[in-house]
Amino acid sequence: MFINCKGQLIDLTKPCVMGIINTTPDSFYTLSRTQLVDDALKLAEQMLNEGATFIDVGGQSTRPGAEAINEEEELQRVIPIIEAIAGAFPKSFISIDTYYAKVAHEAVNAGACMVNDISAGDDDVQMLDTVSKLKVPYISMHKKGKPQTMKDEANYTDVALEVFDYLATKLVQLRAQGVCDIIIDPGFGFGKTIEHNFELIHKLKVFKQLEVPLLIGISRKSMIWKTLDSTPENALHGTTTLNTLALLQGANILRVHDVKPAMDCIKMMGKYGVSV
């Protein structure tokens, strides 16, 4: 199972890690907020040294209830940091976390080589055409509603089946649009209750039927810290537990705030004999 980034084939049959860099003042995990270029470079260097394959740069908080910002403000936040990381670490693989087509386009021009879209093209009608023309890998995520409303839209008859059907339909649409390297993300926390999230974890293996790489983004989310009656800052052990369960069911990419614990998890699972 390979994806093409910057002309290089990345083998995802061995799970890998995507480190999160948020250029925001309001992301749910305070220690992930990095608005200064020098701080972002230090964090990127640390993540790469710890074994991250991808660095995911985002300029907008999409936690439940977060206020949306426009594409120009998002560009001001992410482009200087992407340019700096790409310049300092030219062999790195940078992902842009955005649902704006213009931001995706400018970010790839600045040095990103992957687009991570929480809306799977639903929030900007130009996105899929833009990604097709950019010829970069695309992460297609499921969400229900928008960050401002998704708490009220977490209604499903069968959450795993509905998310599966949505992503399967998106795969057909993306391939028809000419997007070749597609990664799917069930979208933990995006218009889903804690119970929905755990049901998705329980049934993750079903998504392997789609025969594309599977990304899991559960790092320090409320499904963990609320279950533990804790805080995002104290949710690392819970994150590692769920990442382990995800790997057991075929996760290819772990999107995390803490790279080394995720890499340790992958190494231990490899020793145990887990492969995807």
Question: Catalytic residues, which ones?
Answer: 221, 255
H-helix or E-strand spanning residue 203: none
- Give the CA distances from residue 208 to residues 96, 212, 259, in Å, rounded to whole numbers and listed in that order: 24, 7, 24
* Pairing assessment for the beta strands 8-11 and 16-22 based on DSSP bridges: unpaired
Angle, vertex CA 87, rays to CA 84 and CA 91, nearest 5: 120
Residues recorded for the chain: 276
Collapse the DSSP code of 227 into the 3-class scheme (helix H, G, I; strand E, B; otherwise coil) and give the result.
coil
- Give the CA distances from residue 144 to residues 16, 17, 29, 59, 120, in Å, rounded to whole numbers and listed in that order: 27, 25, 22, 21, 11
Kindly give, in sequence order, each residue whose CB lies less than 8 Å from that of residue 135, ignoring residues fewer than 6 positions away.
180
Nearest to 255 by CA among 47, 75, 89: 47
Say how far apart CA 145 and CA 114 lie, in whole Å.
Answer: 24
